Amino acid sequence: MRKAFQSRIPVRERICTIKLAPFSFNKLSLGLYRNTVNPPLDASTQGDLLRELRRDYPSLTQIPNGVLFADPAKGRAMIIDPTHVEASENSPHVAPSALEHLANDVRVAVPIIDFAPPFRVRVEGTGTIQALEGVDPADVLLGYAPPQPGWNDIGGRCTHSCVRYLFTAENGVQRDVHIEPLFAQPDKFYVMVVSMNSGLGVDTLETAMQQAHDEVDVIERLSNRIVADIVSGATPE
């Protein structure tokens, strides 16, 4: 079992220890995007993809201008069309190491569809953080980002609030972070992080894959840090 994530954050000149379970993925996706749009996939290309991918993706569905490969039992899917190739895994517990499998599948598809650099890399990670010791995510977020009284007069009583942050790194990677209570399991925070290159992207496939691996680590660390700081900031003395 993974150890509880502990954050020691200054709050009004004291240290408040907040205990949260570590961020746990329930979805990971890796996509490479073109800067131009190619023609739709022809029958020959789709046949080549099917031969190479059918072991890991036994189901194939035609979509507009492309194909959707899937393995429903494992929660894996792969979309290939004239604009991008994207592989994903979606299940109650997705290990960070699942990205290696997704990256390998993307490596197989790229030469078949004649996908040349530069590559714009999109990584999406969603997951949860378990609140411990009686912390209520809905109360924490509502206290951290409360509505103005006038908003309630117009919209009715606000029962939940969410927060969203946009980041731009020096290398041009943009990260969109969204945090809300997990309504189906009220003792958990739900976190979604989407990152993508701005500009033209990167020049090689291996650079793209390394960026994707780096992003998985960033998503975990950033999710843990933001939620811990939010809980600390909303905890009264």
Q: Does the pLDDT at position 175 exceed 80? A: yes
Q: What is the pLDDT of residue 133?
A: 86
Q: Does the pLDDT at position 70 exceed 90? A: yes
Total structural domains in the chain? 1
Residue 142 counted as domain residue: yes
Q: Does the pLDDT at position 213 exceed 50? A: yes
d(CA 60, CA 151): 48
Q: What is the pLDDT of residue 106?
A: 97
Single pTM value for the model: 0.89
Q: What is the pLDDT of residue 97?
A: 95
Please tell me which residue, 15 or 139, carries the higher pLDDT value: 139
Q: Does the pLDDT at position 145 exceed 90? A: yes
Burial (CB < 10 A; 0-12, 13-18, 19+), residue 32, is: buried
Which residue reads 């399991």 in tokens?
Answer: 185
Residue 17 counted as domain residue: yes
Q: What is the pLDDT of residue 18?
A: 60
Give residue-wise pLDDT tens across range 186-199.
Answer: 999 999 999 999 88
| φ/ψ bin of 55: left (φ > 0), alpha (ψ from -120 to 50), beta (otherwise) | alpha
Q: Does the pLDDT at position 16 exceed 70? A: no
**Mean pLDDT across the stretch 118-143?**
95
User: Cα–Cα distances in Å, from 112 out to 5, 36, 40, 84, 220?
Assistant: 43, 17, 13, 13, 32
Cα 208-204-48 angle, rounded to 5 deg: 85
Residue 121 counted as domain residue: yes
Q: What's the whole-number average pLDDT of the chain?
A: 90
Q: Does the pLDDT at position 3 exceed 50? A: no
Residue 45 counted as domain residue: no
Please tell me which residue, 164 or 13, carries the higher pLDDT value: 164
User: Cα–Cα distances in Å, from 144 out to 71, 121, 163?
Assistant: 40, 32, 9
Q: What is the pLDDT of residue 12?
A: 33
d(CA 195, CA 83): 17
Residue 202 counted as domain residue: yes
Q: Does the pLDDT at position 163 exceed 90? A: yes
Q: Does the pLDDT at position 159 exceed 70? A: yes
Q: What percent of the chain has pLDDT over 70?
A: 91
Residue 191 counted as domain residue: yes
Which residue reads 């604009």 in tokens?
Answer: 83
Residue 91 counted as domain residue: yes
Q: What is the pLDDT of residue 185?
A: 95
**Mean pLDDT across the stretch 62-75?**
94
Q: What percent of the chain has pLDDT over 90?
A: 80
- Three-class DSSP labels, 70-88: EEHHHCEEEEECCCEEEEE
Is omega for the bond preceding 118 within 30 degrees of 0, making it cis? yes
Q: What is the pLDDT of residue 17?
A: 62
Residue 124 near residue 192, CB atoms below 8 Å:
yes
Task: Tell me which residue range forms the domain holding 31.
Answer: 5-36+86-103+116-234
Q: Does the pLDDT at position 211 exceed 80? A: yes
Q: Does the pLDDT at position 13 exceed 80? A: no
Residue 109 counted as domain residue: no
User: Cα–Cα distances in Å, from 181 out to 33, 34, 124, 186?
Assistant: 31, 35, 19, 6
